[in-house]
Copies of this chain bind each other. A is one copy, B any other.
Amino acid sequence: MRRIVMFNRVSADGCFSAADGGLDWVVPEPALDREAARSLGDADAILFGRRTYEMFESFWPRALDGDSPDAEDPHAPGRRSPELHAMAKWIDDVEKVVFSRTRKEVAWSNSRLLHGIDPAEIEAMKAGPGKDMMIFGSGSVVSELTRHGLIDEYQLVVSPVLLGSGRTLLTEPPAGRELVLAEAKSYPSGNVMLRYLRPE
């Protein structure tokens, strides 16, 4: 059975996104980037909300181009990061499913547009062939899938910052409240990865 795995950054005071929608508050952590690059092989699809898809679409194809400044390691300008390139290549290759009521089409390679979230359709995707499916950002998709109990793992990276205002991760009641803590791991940057599983 394919699993749906969500990965998101949150602030210590519980915000999933800042009031201005920006991500400049995220505290970088090279060790996390390396671990993420190593685990990419476990998944072969990404589920997107429209906004996150468009953000990814504007960044990652250029990061794949070795001559682009976007291919530089954001933590070490001028250096080409192997993790960044591996991530860009993986994102380009995998199936990208975009949930949007307003987009008419999607042009990025291996992208597919769905006009809404149909739980039965998601269940069928999970029962079909393939590896895990990832979600990055995409708060509305996370909320709606959680309402139907369809997310199997929540990976929350807590940055050591206070935002004071912003949105929480979910906007709808979850199918079930309880989670099972699988891991709590801290990093030199002060980031903490909290990994939760949906109970069986």
Binding site for B on A (CB under 8 A): 10-16, 25, 143, 146-147, 154, 156, 158, 160-166, 168-174, 176-181, 184-186, 190-192, 194, 196
Contact = CB atoms under 8 A, between A and B. Distances in A.
Contact of A164 (B14, B160, B170, B185): B170
A24 B14 CA distance: 19
A180 B12 CA distance: 11
Given A10-B14, A12-B194, A164 B154 contact: no
Contacts of A161: 177-179
Contact of A179 (B14, B162, B168): B162
Nearest to A199: B160
Given A13-B168, A156-B12, A164-B172, A192 B186 contact: no
Nearest to A166: B168
Given A172-B164, A177-B163, A184-B184, A158 B12 contact: no
